[in-house]
Amino acid sequence: MPDLPRGSRPVAANAPARAAPDAHDLTVLDGGRRVITASVPTAQSASVSFFVGVGSRSERPEVGGVSHYLEHMLFKGTEQRPTAPAISEAIEGAGGSLNAFTTSELTCYWNRLPFERWQRGIEVLADMIQSSLLDREEVERERTVVQQEIRRTHDNPQAWAGELLQRVTFGDQPVGRPVAGTLESVAAIDRSELASHLGSHYTEGNAVLAVAGRVDHGAVVEEAARHFSALAPGAGVPAEQARRGLPEERVLVEERDLEQANLALAVQCGGRRDPDRYPLEVLVTLLGRGMSSRLFKEVRERRGLAYSVAARVGRLRDIGALAVTAGVTREHQEEALGVIMGELRRLVSEPVGEEELARTIDYAVGGFRLALETPMAIGQRLGNQLLLDGEIERVDDAVAALRAVSARDVQRVAEGLFAGPPALAVVGPSAPADRLDAILSS
Please give the positions annotated as active site: 71
Choose among 2, 382, 393: nearest CA to 209: 382
Q: Of all helices (H) and strands (E), which one includes residue 84?
A: helix 84-92
Tell me the C-alpha distance between 65 and 179, whole Å.
6
Beta strands in 232-385 (DSSP E): 251-254, 261-269, 309-315, 320-328
Q: Is 284 helix (H, G, I), strand (E, B) or coil?
A: helix
Q: Is 46 helix (H, G, I), strand (E, B) or coil?
A: strand
| N-to-C CA span, the chain | 57
**Following DSSP, what letter does each residue of 127-181 receive, concatenated?**
HHHHSB---HHHHHHHHHHHHHHHHHHHHSHHHHHHHHHHHHHH-SSGGGS-TT-
Tell me the C-alpha distance between 308 and 287, whole Å.
14
Q: How far is CA 296 from CA 51, 228, 266, 287, in A?
A: 36, 48, 17, 8
**β-pair type (423-427, 261-269):** antiparallel
Residues 37 and 109 sit within 8 Å (Cβ to Cβ): no
Question: Checking phi first, is residue 202 left (phi over 0); if not, alpha (psi -120 to 50) or beta?
Answer: beta
Tell me the C-alpha distance between 440 and 423, whole Å.
9
Tell the burial category of 232 from Cβ atoms under 10 Å away from its Cβ (0-12, 13-18, 19+). middle
Tell me the C-alpha distance between 111 and 414, whole Å.
40
Tell me the C-alpha distance between 368 and 365, whole Å.
5
Tell me the C-alpha distance between 149 and 184, whole Å.
13
Q: What share of the chain is helix, strand, coil (3-state, %, to 5)?
A: 50, 15, 35
φ, ψ dihedrals at 103, nearest 5°: -125, -170
Tell me the C-alpha distance between 126 and 231, whole Å.
9
